[in-house]
Each structure stands twice: as C-alpha cells, then as structure tokens.
C-alpha cells in the first residue's frame, strides 16, 4: 500500500517532469543543438526541486529511444551530419524525474517547424497512449491494453513497435519487471500474463513507426546511448576485497552508487569524477582511463549499459508517454502540470 507521503513524492515528481517537457519543448527549433535542449531540460529539473531519474534523451526520426549526448559531443553511430535540429525532424523528447526515488517518466513527439509532415503519426501516438491509460483499471488483462493501442496506430496507417513496451515503476527502479504492451500481443503471450494491479505505478508509452515491420534494433556498440546504470547485483566492497577491483575502481564505483543509486546516469555526468584522481591528465588520457574503468565495472556486472534503439526499416518513430498510478478507482496520471 502506498502511503500519503510516498504518493506526494510521486505526484511532485510527475509535476516537475511534465513542467519540464512543457517548459523546454519550445527550445526544439531548427538550428538548435540536441545538446542545448538536453542540458536545459536537466537544469530545469534541478531548478524545480527534482533530480533526473535518467538523462534527458533526444531521439530524432528513425531513432526511437535511448540517446543522450556525451561530453565530447560526438554524434551517435550511423548519424550523418551534426546533432542540430532541422525543419521537418520528428523528435521524441523523453524526461524522467525522481524525488526521493519516486519516479515520473514522460515523453512527447513533435515536428521541428510544425510543417505538418508528421501530424497524423504524432496524433496517433498521443491517442494510443491516452486510450491505453483509459483501460488501466485493476483486473484488466494486459492484452486489452495492447489491443486498443495497436488499433489506433493501424487505423491511422502506422505500425505499433512490437518490441518496445511500457514498464512498471517502483522506488529507485525505473523498469520494475511488469511490461505494458502497446500492440495486440494476444491473451496467451507469456510476456504479458496477468492483469493491471492496484497500488502500482506504470509508464505507458506506445511507439509507432512509418516502417513496415514495426520493430526496433540495437545500435552498436552496447554503450551507444551514453547511458549507464548500476545493476545493484554487485557490492563494490566485496569486489575490492576479492581483488576484482583495484582501489581506484572501487572508489569510482562507490561514488557512482552514492550519487545515482540504481537509476540510469549519463557519461557526461560521471566523466568529471576523473578530474580529482587525475588532475594533470589530458583529455585523451582521461578518456582512456574512463573506458578502462567502465570496461572493468561492466565485466564484473556492477554496471550495465544501454544501446540506442532504432527502427529496423529506417521509418520515422513517434511516441507519447505518461506515468500513471492505478488505484481501486482507476488510473491517475502523475505527469500533469
């Protein structure tokens, strides 16, 4: 059972998350860089009393999700040109906020320049999200939530992305186990067994695509997103005692855990931690040390990384997302202003 103080934290996180989307979306203009928008969103969150639950992400056109900039501002693998918004781009803007570990996750799609090239796709993604939320009463089978989302997408002429879904949220846990379908998965699908539960939080985020297959793929390498997460499966103290980590690696692991717990963090947030132990190192040397330390922490499963996600056919991808709390009375949207 969620107590009133906890529920207040979830609601407050939701308000900040929504205000961030609404307050920053106007910055997504032709000529602006992705990095400008990402940094402004994260500063907005801090100024309004929250902390990022994950790095703000910008995903353009065929990129579906999981991209944030890194400190050298190198474009993502396979991206041609600069990370600058162009008129006609279909942009997914995804923001998460936490307050004392209570998480709000929300996203929107918009077209740079509002030229009307993606109006139907944007509308379908938004309506699919809202219709899915309306189904989320305690006891509703998960396949019914997916049914309505797919129906809206296909009626509008788009494919639902079938290998992306929403997710349950718990304190300090962005992906808490239960998945929220956004396509017609069927009553017997083993990945979506059971029903919507009361006293639970869910991120509802149907994706659609103009591509034919309705699938996304990982973009290599495995850290292409520049996003990392502490798994919570490995104790850095035990790793140090067993000599799986050297003292410097253990210190970095400790600092990361104290700062981010098990929530995702950006390379550009953590990279400056190397300035103190290596004050005289140049950029090339610090990058080399960062890669070596991350490689070690990943090898012992202290840290995991995220791929960029991209439509397999190169189709444009649309998405909208809300965080909802399901009570006995039905769904309450947390991510409202």
Q: Which residues are catalytic?
A: 94, 105, 167, 175, 205, 321
Q: What are phi and psi of 63, to 5 degrees?
A: -75, 125
Q: Are 203 and 95 in contact (CB under 8 A)?
A: no
Burial class (CB within 10 angstroms; exposed 0-12, middle 13-18, buried 19+) of 25:
middle
Token pair belonging to 101:
């570990």
Helix/strand number for the chain, H first, E second: 8, 17
Find tokens 């997302």 and name the residue.
Answer: 321
Beta strands in 46-140 (DSSP E): 51-60, 63-65, 90-99, 102-111
Neighbouring C-alpha atoms within 13 Å toward the C-beta of 75: 12
Token pair belonging to 81:
């040109």
Angle at 286 between CA 283 and CA 292, to 5 degrees: 145
Q: What are phi and psi of 132, to 5 degrees?
A: -65, -40
């Amino acid at each position: 059972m969620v107590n009133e103080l906890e529920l207040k934290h979830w609601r407050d996180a939701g308000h900040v998350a929504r205000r961030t989307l609404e307050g920053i979306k106007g910055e997504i203009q032709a000529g602006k860089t992705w990095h400008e928008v990402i940094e402004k969103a994260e500063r907005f969150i801090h100024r309004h009393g929250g902390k990022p639950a994950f790095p703000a992400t910008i995903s353009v056109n065929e990129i579906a999700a999981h991209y944030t900039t890194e400190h050298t501002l190198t474009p993502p693998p396979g991206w041609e040109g600069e990370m600058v918004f162009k008129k006609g781009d279909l942009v997914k803007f995804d923001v998460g906020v936490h307050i004392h570990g209570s998480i709000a996750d929300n996203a929107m799609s918009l077209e740079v320049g509002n030229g009307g090239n993606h109006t139907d796709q944007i509308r379908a993604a938004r309506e699919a999200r809202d219709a899915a939320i309306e189904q989320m009463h305690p006891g509703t089978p998960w396949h019914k939530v997916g049914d309505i989302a797919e129906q809206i997408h296909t009626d509008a002429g788009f494919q639902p992305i079938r290998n992306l879904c929403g997710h349950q949220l718990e304190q300090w846990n962005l992906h808490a186990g239960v998945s929220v379908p956004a396509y017609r998965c069927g009553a017997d699908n083993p990945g979506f067994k059971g029903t919507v539960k009361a006293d639970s939080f869910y991120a509802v985020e149907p994706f659609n695509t103009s591509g034919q297959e309705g699938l996304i793929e990982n973009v290599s390498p495995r850290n292409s997103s520049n996003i990392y997460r502490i798994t919570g499966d490995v104790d850095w103290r035990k790793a140090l005692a067993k000599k799986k980590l050297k003292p410097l690696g253990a210190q970095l692991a400790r600092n990361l855990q104290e700062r981010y717990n098990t929530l995702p963090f950006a390379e550009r947030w953590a990279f400056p931690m190397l300035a103190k132990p290596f004050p005289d190192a140049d950029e090339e040397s610090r990058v080399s040390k960062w890669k070596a330390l991350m490689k070690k922490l990943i090898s012992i499963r202290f840290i995991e990384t995220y791929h960029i996600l991209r439509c397999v056919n190169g189709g444009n991808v649309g998405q909208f997302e809300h965080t909802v709390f399901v009570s006995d009375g039905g769904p309450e949207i947390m991510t409202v202003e």
